[in-house]
Amino acid sequence: MRRVRKVGLIGWGAIGRVVGTALAERRVEGAELVCIVDNRPLGGAAPAPQLSFEEALERCDLIVEAAGQGVVREWGERVLTSGTDLLIASTGALTDERLAKRLLDAGPGRVSFTGGAVGGLDLLQAAVALGPLDKVRLTTTKLPSTLEQPWMDEELLGRMRTADAPVEVMSGTARDVPVKFPRSTNVAASVALAVGNLDAVRVRVVADPAAHHTRHVVEASGAHGNYRFEVAHLPDPDNPATSQVVPYAVLRSLAALAGRTGAIL
């Protein structure tokens, strides 16, 4: 018989609530929600015991991170060296190459990443294996209010808040942009993970007052082909900085780690 993965969920926010509820309702075959780790008292809102991080490591063989890049930095390596597997939703943390190397080298636990709100990453990985890509571009468009950051000056904030047309907020590489938008641009880091090069991915972040859907456009080309993926998602009503589809991407990844048959890999 296939073993049941004992899952500890870190984070009970917009992503964690959907993932945890689905696990508690046994909607992911081969996975059982054992506990939730969160820095706020959840009381009766949680469908599983709320435990400390150390207790979760003792009881679980798979930890799902759904709480932000800080958790990956603080606890990711400890999860893996304890022998527990780790599924990361906040891929933006991997723009720190030293952290990424430590996580990839750590064990005996295994680290995996969810693609989140963007598709086509499997095909990009296959294309890079065939030969180098000479262009990779990502354009992310969101509502201005979801992109406001403490480092922005009054001039930029004013342009965003009064815009009646799209405004470019930042452009750079996948190394630079996720650091500036830690809750909004995990997609940039995910594309870079697929390509294998943070500096090869050029990223534009656009604020659009008419962006009722969050939009990501990935364009890539090389000697062997041209690729273009465009997705448009409704923002999560509780956390507009993330898309509604993201927790379901986490659940898809969980199902694959739990050994679901018939999965597209």
d(CA 191, CA 121): 7
Whole-number Å distance between alpha carbons of 147 and 180: 10
- Active-site pick, 212, 216, 224, 233: 216
Strands 201-207, 167-173: pairing is: antiparallel
Burial environment of residue 163 by CB neighbours within 10 A (0 to 12, 13 to 18, 19 or more): middle
With H, G, I as helix, E, B as strand and everything else as coil, classify residue 192.
helix
d(CA 114, CA 102): 18
Angle, helix 121-130 to helix 186-195, in steps of 10 degrees = 30
Chain centroid to CA 9:
14
> Which residues pair with residue 161 across a beta bridge?
none
At 30, give phi and psi (nearest 5°): 90, 5
Q: Is 212 a residue of the active site?
A: no
- Separation between Cα atoms, residue 161 and residue 12, nearest integer Å: 30
Would you please indicate which residues are annotated as catalytic (active-site) residues? 216
